[in-house]
Amino acid sequence: MTRTVLTSVLALSLAAPLAASELNLYSARHYDTDERLYSDFTAATGIKINRIEGKADALMARMAAEGQNSPADVLLTVDTSRLERAKNAGVLQALDNATLEASVPAEFQDTENQWFGFSSRARIIFYDKNDVANPPETYADLAKPEYKGMVCIRSGTNVYMQTILASIITHEGEDAATDWAAGVLANFARDPQGGDTDQLRGIVSGECDIALTNTYYYARSIRKDVSGLSGADNIGWVFPNQEDRGAHVNLSGGGIAAYAPNYDNAVAFLEYLASDQAQQYFAAGNDEYPVVPGTSLSSSVESLGTFKADDVDLSVVAKNVPAAQVIFNQVGWK
């Protein structure tokens, strides 16, 4: 399946001369390791990538302001909610593509084919193995009174938190999601602060015993030294909800810009991101889980293990993000 993807990308470089041998990529992914993705694509196709980097909302606003004159061919960003915002802002276009449809699992695609996920990260529970004898096994457990004063977690304005609460809304409804948010709030070890790595640092420092973060932040510390995580050997982890719906996952993905001037090159690039080569590099370069089934994992990701993932349609989850923000505000989650 993915061999066909790479074959089609390579065939592009051998076909008749392209109308333009460049691709204008608007990217909200800020990982140095992605350089290999881009250079390999250029080597295979001869298509030069002109990259414009920025925060997702700023890039979307720029594309909207540029309108039909936008040079953007592809938008890449992180988090399903941002992909959905790009769709709702009208800066993407639908792509009916048999290669992507076959390679990327349905739950990782927009229902209207405006965006596709290319790498995933699970949002899981980490805990201090020395202090927590019975760690939470589900997301719901995080709200149990027995964990009062133990939880480090991010702000309710963070998109990762908004998306996981949106997934709870999708599965259980707004009332259950409100009860969960209030219960977790009551278990805070401190006010929300910092990014995902800072929650892990809180466990190492002893400020908290439990944290909820994306897998790749911890996997990175397995692969290389990360400041403040030198004592991370005492950290254990749980993939939540393995007896029912599975662990929540989020995406890094992209779509073709609404007025892409280099449309064929944009299609080739998205197909390349679903190829064996690119999928393996997402795993090795940034400690992420590839989305294409059967792709081998990097050693750091493999150390975390495989798991049952929630197969809820993430485009549906993204539609519940505004309701999630309202709930965080209502319960007083800063």
Please tell me the CATH code under which domain 122-245+315-331 is placed: 3.40.190.10
pLDDT at 2: 40
Give per-residue pLDDT as tens, 84-116. 999 999 999 999 999 999 999 999 999 999 999
pLDDT at 126: 98
pLDDT at 16: 38
> CATH 3.40.190.10 residue ranges in the chain?
2-120+249-308, 122-245+315-331
pLDDT at 20: 53
pLDDT at 3: 39
pLDDT at 223: 86
pLDDT at 231: 66
pLDDT at 94: 98
CB atoms within 10 A of CB 93: 16
Please tell me the CATH code under which domain 2-120+249-308 is placed: 3.40.190.10
Whole-prediction pTM: 0.88
Give per-residue pLDDT as tens, 180-221. 999 999 999 999 999 999 999 999 999 999 999 999 999 989
CA distances from residue 291 to 13, 191, 201, 275 in whole angstroms, order as listed: 25, 34, 28, 10
Residue 9 near residue 275, CB atoms below 8 Å: yes
Provide the 3-class DSSP secondary structure of residue 128.
Answer: strand
Which segments in the chain show pLDDT lower than 50?
1-19
In 170-316, which ranges are E strands? Answer: 210-214, 235-238, 249-257, 289-290
